[in-house]
Amino acid sequence: MEWYPLWNSLRIAACSCIIVFLSGIFMAYYVAKLPRTVKGILDVLFTLPMVLPPTVCGYLLLVLLGPKRPLGIFLGRLGIQVAMTWYGGIVASAVVAFPLMYRTARGAFESFDPALAYSGQTLGLSNTYIFWRIRMPACRQGILAGTVLAFARALGEYGATSMLIGYVPGRTATISTTVYQLWRTDNETEAFLWVMLNLLISAVILLAVNLLEKNNKKAGGV
């Protein structure tokens, strides 16, 4: 049994999770402070990948980053190829996982008591200090839950990933694409093993989310 799909899935999910964590928190923080109309428009834009079929997201990424498209040609001249490479999977996974992180982080920031920030400002604390030492710790449960969900979504991504990077054994294969290829070639024994492994990983992730929610409820009840 070749373990490359597991390693590849984990590194794609980890890299995309880092990107989504930073971009999701940044966008959630600033969007939460915008006027209602602007916020509504950006919400639709940032949440769209969550409701679109993953294959549609993958198709749009191909249209944007394909080797024969203007942006793809430009990146190719820089020696960067996104389509049919494992790091193209990072792009695909980040796009579909971003809405989970964004929505969860935005909800956490909107539930933050602004009086805590105002108190810090009256004490002469900088906005950067207030954000990292007051706002983030107060919203940590929601942000951690969003991070875990984004990682799980990236780990299980199939549609956009298969469209953008395909399936090349030892190069772009992930757990999801491997299960499909094994099933397609009637290798149901190995496909079942990968499915069970994926179920185990998913169960651990869901357990982590439940623990975070339980801790959050306990913190809220204190």
pTM reported for the whole predicted model: 0.86
Residues 6+ apart with CB under 8 A from 168: 84
What is residue 102's predicted lDDT score, i.e. its pLDDT? Answer: 93
pLDDT of residue 216: 61
pLDDT of residue 80: 85
83 sits in the region (left: phi over 0; alpha: psi -120 to 50; else beta) called beta
Q: State the helix-helix crossing angle for 188-221 and 140-155, rounded to 10 degrees.
A: 170
The rounded percent of the chain whose pLDDT value lies above 90 is: 36
Higher pLDDT, 176 or 221: 176
Mean pLDDT across 3-11:
92
Give me the mean pLDDT over the 161-190 stretch: 90
pLDDT (0 to 100) of residue 23: 94
User: Residue type at 54?
Assistant: P
As a whole number of Å, the end-to-end CA separation of the chain is 50
Q: Identify which of 134, 128, 135, 131 has the alpha carbon closest to the alpha carbon of residue 108.
A: 135
| pLDDT above 70 coverage of the chain, percent | 95
Average pLDDT, rounded, for the chain: 87
**pLDDT tier at 218, thresholds 50, 70, 90:** low
Which pLDDT score, from 0 to 100, does residue 89 have? 93
Q: What is the pLDDT of residue 222?
A: 47
**Residue-level pLDDT at 210:** 77
Calpha distance 197→42 (Å, rounded): 37
Distances (CA, A) of 216 to 20, 33, 142: 22, 24, 8
Task: State the pLDDT at residue 174.
Answer: 93
- 119 contacts 129 by C-beta, under 8 angstroms: no
Q: What is the pLDDT of residues 109-158, one digit of tens each?
A: 888 888 888 888 888 888 888 888 888 888 888 888 889 889 989 998 99
CA 164 to chain centre: 16
Q: Which residue has the higher pLDDT, 192 or 221?
A: 192
> Is residue 33 scored above 90 in pLDDT?
no
pLDDT of 198 above 70: yes
